[in-house]
Structure 1
C-alpha cells in the first residue's frame, strides 16, 4: 500500500458531532512478493496484523475539519450518532462487520486489516452512517489470495439499496445515487468528502488496472448514497 499522508484534526480534542472531511488520494494494492511485507492496524478497540500484503487501503491526505453541525443547516432524514455494526448489500451478497478506522500516530487514516476479506471500516472519528453529514465506509477489493468484501462494488447501480446495522439497534437504509470511477491523479476530493446537510455515505475501494511498477491500482471506485 502507498504511504498515507497527514490526517484531519486529532480526534481527542474534537466534539463527538464534529464533521471530518477526509481526502483520499488512492486505494493501493501491493502484490505479495518476498521483498514487500506491510502491516496494518485495525480499529481503536483491537489491532490486527495484515498478513496478506495485496489489498486496497484508505489514505487520509492533508485536510481540514468540516463545519460543526451547528454551522451547517441539516436537512432530510437523519439518525443520531451510533456505531455501525454490520453492512448489508443484498445486490452483491455483502454481509460484513465493521471495524473503526483511527488516525494513526503518523497522521494517517488506518486501513482495514488486510487479513480479513470480509470486513469493512469506517472513520470512527467522523460521521457515523445515518448521521447527518458524509460517512465514509472503506473496504478491500481483493487480497493476495482471494477477492475481498468490495470485489463486486462496481456492480451496484442507481436505485440499489443497502443498509447499516447500528449499535443503537436501528438500521440505516441507503439508496445508491451513483457509482463512479475516478483516476487517482484526478480524484475529486471535495465532491467525495465534503460535509453535507443530508445523511450520506460513500463506499470506497480501488478499481482500474493494477500497475505492477508502482504496486498500485490506477483508479478509485466510489458509491454515492443517501439515507432513506
Structure 2
C-alpha cells in the first residue's frame, strides 16, 4: 500500500481546475433531474467520453423532453438507436435502456425517487439490481445524491495503481473513502479525473509536474521518467 496522505492529495488536486459542466453525471444532477433521468445520463457515459455522452443526452432530451421510463418506451427502437448512434454499441445500449425503463415501470411504478431516502447500502443494492447498472454507475448516482460513496473510473484506477493502491474496484474505492473526508468525496472524485486527464495521463504522464511523484511507485520504478 502507499503512504499517501490527505494533504498530498489536496496539494496535487490544486494543480487542476474542475469544471463540473464537463462531467455529465454531475451536471445533470446539479439541474435537479429525477433519479431516473440522472441514472440514464450516467449510463450514457459508460465506456464513452463525457463530451460524446453529453451530446447524446441532449439529443435524447431534445426529442422526448423529460427523460422518463414511458418517454423512452414510447420511442421506436429504431429512433432510440439513431439517437444513441454516436455512442459505441448503440444497439446494445438501446436494448439496455428499454429494459431499464421496463423494469423501473413494472417494479417501481416508473419512479426511482425513493432511492433518495434509502440508506447507502440499500440504495446501492437497489441500483445495482437494475439492468445495465454496475458499481461505478451506481456510485456516481449515489455520490450526486449526497451518499458517502467514492466512484472509481478508469482515470482514478490508473492513478491509484500507479501510486501503489492495488486491487479491484471495491478495494480502491475503500482506500479513497478512508483517506478523504465524506464532504470531500465528490470534489476529490472529480478532481482525480481531471488530474488523470491533464497530468497522470495514460500515455506520456507529466510526472515532472506531479507533486505525488516521490510517493508514486510508477515513477520511482521507471528510470526513464526520472532522467
Could you say whether these structures have the same fold, taking a TM-score greater than 0.5 normalized by the shorter chain as the test? no
Higher normalized helix content (fraction of residues): 2
> Which bracket does the TM-score occupy, shorter chain normalised?
under 0.3
Higher normalized strand content (fraction of residues): 1
Q: Which structure has the greater CA radius of gyration?
A: 2
